[in-house]
Amino acid sequence: MQLVLTVNGMTYEVEARPTARLLDVLRDQFGLTGTKEGCAEGECGACTVIVDGKAVNSCVMLAVQARGKEILTVEGLAQEGELDVLQQKFVEYGAVQCGYCTPGMLMSAKALLMGNPVPSEQDIRIALAGNLCRCTGYTTIVAAVKAASGQVATPLMELPAAPEELAAEVVTDPATLAAACEIVEAETGAPVGVPCLPGDDADADPFGGPGPGSSGSRVTPEGGE
């Protein structure tokens, strides 16, 4: 059937199967694959889009139900090449791990902020309750949404911003290390092996790169460097 849909500010006429879901039309006909299919039952929120200002699960809504309405997908958040402040804060706060839930999270959070520009933490948790994330534990996501609304938000953990700071804490003096081993042995009763000292080839990292704690690309927002 012929449908007129307004997606991310542009109005289109599309020929869609009568029972096509909004999710199907967005992904398969508009190529807007930022919207994900997770459970396909309205439980996980990965398919969340905003229709007339309200977050909905596009997997349990037919496209025909969205006719004549304003549909906003994750692709519509960035304006003129600039990420939406929510997206920026998700990056800064490490609110993205595998990323599959992220578009849905962003759209639920966006709908919240559109109606409630300064939400409490409880408001944020209620708004995001229909979005499942199996990676982050949610704390960073809630903090990112809070930060995007201009409120002070505490990051999950304070990581040293610069690799030099870490380097300064590495003890290489053999006498100090031996003393430290004795203390550990005395307290635990377990023998401690010979400490692996950084030698001449200290730069040859067997794991192929800096660990997560020493990465300079990890930004610590507010109160970091």
Partner 1 sequence: MSQTQVLTPEGIDELVAALARATPRTRLLAGGTDLVRELRRPGDEPDVLVDLTGLTELAAVRRDGATLRVGALATFTQLQWDPLVREHALCLSLAAAQLGSAQIRNAGTIGGNIANASACADGATALTALGADVVTLDGAGETRTRPIGEVLLGAGRTSLRHDEAIIEYAFPALGSEHRSAFAKIGSRTAVSVARLSAALVVRFDAVAGVLAEVRVALGAVGESAFLVPELERALEGRAADDESARLFAEGCVAAVQASIPGRYSLPYKEQAAVGLAYDAWNMLALSAPSEPAWA
- Using CB under 8 A as the binding rule, whether residue 41 contacts partner 1 is answered as yes
Pick from 26, 32, 55, 77: which binds partner 1 (CB under 8 A)?
55
- Degrees to nearest 5, angle at CA 35 with 114 and 60: 85
- Using CB under 8 A as the binding rule, whether residue 17 contacts partner 1 is answered as yes
- Using CB under 8 A as the binding rule, whether residue 221 contacts partner 1 is answered as no
- Residue 12 C-alpha from the chain's centroid: 31
Residues 59-118 that bind partner 1 (CB under 8 A): 59-62, 64-65, 67, 108, 111-112
Residues 128-147 that bind partner 1 (CB under 8 A): 129-131
Q: Considering the complex, what minimum distance in angstroms separates the CB of residue 25 from partner 1? A: 13
Upper half-sphere CA count for residue 203 (Cβ side, 13 Å): 0
At 185, is the secondary structure helix, strand, or coil? helix
CA dihedral 117→129→219→206, nearest 10 degrees, is: -170
**Contact, 30 vs 7, CB < 8 A?**
yes
In the complex, the residues that contact partner 1 under the rule CB under 8 A are 1, 17-19, 21, 40-43, 45, 48, 54-57, 59-62, 64-65, 67, 108, 111-112, 125-127, 129-131
